[in-house]
Amino acid sequence: MKNIVVLGGGISGYGSAILAKKQGFGVFLSDSGRIAERYRQKLDEWGVPYEEGGHSEERILAATEVVKSPGIPETAPIVRKIREAGIPVVSEIEFAGRYMGRAKCICITGSNGKTTTTSLIYKIMRDAGLNVALGGNIGESFAYSVATGSYDWYVLELSSFQLDGMYRFRAHIGVLMNITPDHLDRYDHCFQNYADSKMRITQNQTSRDWFVYSGDDEVIWQQLPKYDLRVRQLPFAARNAVASGAGDAFLCDGKFTATAGKASVEIDMNKMRIAGLHNAYNAMAAALATLAAGVAPAKIRKALYDFAPVEHRLEPVAEKNGVLWINDSKATNVDSVWYALESMKRPVVWIAGGTDKGNDYEPLKRFARDKVHTLVCMGLDNAKLVGEFSGVVPEVVSTGSLDAAMRAAKAAARPGDAVLLSPACASFDLFKNYENRGELFKKWVLENCE
């Protein structure tokens, strides 16, 4: 009998373990930390053996195959030992993809915009009445959905870490939003390694499949000639003139027409509830992907116009005393903040900082100079931010806690301003994750601003 070991007991791990159990394999789940109560309950319910607080090496190294959670780096000692033993290591996506039957999948990746684009695609598909599940980086575990449901379509948000563990898996519709520097600490601080990871979204695609990508992203254009892509290409753009025999989308004067094959839809961005150039890209990608999936243009248009902003991504929290407070905690890299600042129509008090990932802040300085009158740095080590933006932004304030940062932002904000939490950094110095940071930001606003 095949013996599957699942490394990591988070959302991808528990789902993979349950799917392995359902497929009749021997299965064991191991987590070096604590497993959340809701996942432990599911594992108990399915009779899956597991451990937490450490790894039983002998049992793990007896595996036929290991399904590794994306948050566990290749440098982890147990992963190194698994590799040295010659045991295959795959991601949840690779593992679950073997058992999805005749279902098809739309897979979305990119350094920025993938959560909103994934959410848009899922809403369009669901509102059109299709039998669809949401998974990958958001929604339910893909493996758990495969184990417990029967779907015609899966809409999957994929990180580079999930793509790294995929080998035979194939996206019927692959979407690549952009490639900008991020997570370089996991890629030997080599941007090309990271770009190669993102381009894995195209692997195994055939001439029957579709590849949706940004025609404005120079890095993608540099990568494309390296691949013998036989897939139907659907570029989208707002700056470059792009065209493809299979279809494309182009933004002009606040409107775009998306075409895939013989189907087209025209969208007026002014009628959408989400604004900014970044959301125009997200909407174009979503329209192209769902046209490729066969959704009627009228249904795409209605769903796009109905869509509300994603939590923690340029999420308006409240307007208090003429000051608009905006939660953009999900902006954990420079490129995300570029789009956030680009979309600002008011003078800005900008809250940034956290765990710096080797950021180059130069691209932000033009918008910071034009739009930001106060930068509030929030982190345990603000020296780099302070140094980069002193002389660029009139006022730069260094704080070491959320409360201090919020009080400084409130004091600096004037009626007609926006206070924008858009950190450009990971959250791990002061918070559990970006969601925790965003939730605490919103809580503070609602409790301390009248």
Q: What is the pLDDT of residues 377-388, one digit of tens each?
A: 998 889 999 999
- Looking at residue 284, its pLDDT comes to 98
Query: What's the one-letter identity of residue 166?
Result: M
pTM metric for this prediction: 0.77
Give the domain 315-448 fold: Protein-Tyrosine Phosphatase; Chain A (3.90.190)
Catalytic residues: 114, 137, 183
Q: Kindly report, residue by residue over 93-107, the tens digit of the pLDDT.
A: 999 999 999 999 999
Calpha distance 248→213 (Å, rounded): 9
**CA neighbor of 405 nearest in space, from 382, 373, 436:** 382
Nearest by Cα to 22 from 106, 98, 118: 98
Q: Which of 376, 370, 443, 368 is nearest to 408 (CA)?
A: 376
Give the Cα separation of 18 and 167 in Å (integer). Answer: 21
Query: pLDDT tens per residue, the chain (450 residues)?
Result: 799 999 999 888 999 999 999 999 999 999 998 888 889 999 999 999 999 999 999 999 999 999 998 878 888 999 999 999 999 999 999 999 999 999 999 999 998 888 889 999 999 999 999 999 999 888 889 999 999 999 999 999 998 888 888 899 999 999 999 988 655 556 567 777 888 888 999 999 999 999 999 999 999 998 988 888 899 999 999 998 777 889 999 999 999 999 999 999 999 999 998 888 889 999 999 999 999 999 999 999 999 999 987 788 888 898 998 999 999 998 888 878 987 898 888 999 999 998 887 788 988 998 999 999 999 999 888 999 999 999 999 999 999 999 999 999 999 999 999 999 999 988 777 888 899 999 999 999 999 987
| Among the four given CATH numbers 3.40.50.10860, 3.40.50.300, 3.30.360.10, 3.40.1190.10, the one describing domain 99-306 | 3.40.1190.10
| Three-state DSSP class for residue 173 | strand
Could you identify the residue written with the tokens 């895939």?
260
122, 125, 131, 134: CA torsion to nearest 10: -10
**Which architecture, in CATH terms, is 3-90?**
3-Layer(aba) Sandwich (3.40)
pLDDT of residue 185: 59
364 token code pair:
């932000």
Residue extents of the structural domains in the chain = 3-90, 99-306, 315-448
